[in-house]
Amino acid sequence: MAEDTTLLAPDVRTDVLGTLRCYALSVTGPDWHAQAELGMPSPATDAAADDVAAALQRATADPRNSVVMGSILSSNADRIATRIERVAEARPAVPGEVWVLMVVTLAAVVAGLAAYAHPHVRRSTQVAVVAGSAVVFALTLWLLHDLDRPYDGLVRTEPTAMLDVTHRMTTLAGGAPAPCNADGISAR
């Protein structure tokens, strides 16, 4: 989408590219953190998305941009769909009831291991088997919990692709500063 903006009329190009850069900054900053911590999108990114829509509307009003606007608007629809998908992915997929069931199962398995321990086996061996099983099950639950939150935790997803896009848009803009702060919040 950013590549196509280079074909817009110069006065509109700066506006559209600037709002796209602010949007990208808001995604990699406040939006990524909000989804990691709260599982919901950031209002700053919602505002940046509104600014992109307004800039595209202004660009569409200029007849000099008619040829390229179809491609840009198609890419914008893809951007919107991708954000909807990203927000949906931030929500935990494992319901709380399933977590409760897994914890109860862990407790039952550990208790069962303790109950079925042979009386002729040394107490230290029994404790080691029960403790080892508890650790394995607890680590499994922790890993499932971590994987269920893709924007936070040890096994998190980073906004690498969006950071690359932001860098490319900075290059396309000739190094001109974006019309927003580092978190993508508009300076207007």
pLDDT at 20 over 80: yes
Average pLDDT on 34-46 reads 86
Average pLDDT on 49-74 reads 91
Q: What is the DSSP track for 165-183?
A: HHHHHHHHTTTPPPSB-TT
Average pLDDT on 144-165 reads 79
Kindly report which listed range (11-15, 38-42, 140-144, 175-179) carries the lowest average pLDDT score.
Answer: 175-179
The phi-psi region of residue 9 (left if phi > 0; otherwise alpha if psi is between -120 and 50; otherwise beta) is: beta
Banded pLDDT at 155 (limits 50, 70, 90) = confident
Banded pLDDT at 162 (limits 50, 70, 90) = confident
- CA-to-CA distance for 27 and 31, rounded, in angstroms? 5
Q: What is the pTM of this model?
A: 0.65
Average predicted confidence (pLDDT) for the chain: 83
Residue type, 149: R
Banded pLDDT at 54 (limits 50, 70, 90) = very high
Of the spans 32-41, 69-78, 99-108, which averages the highest pLDDT? Answer: 69-78
Q: Could you tell me the CA-to-CA distances from 29 to 41, 127, 182 in Å, in that order?
A: 11, 47, 8
pLDDT at 19 over 80: yes
pLDDT value at residue 175 = 64
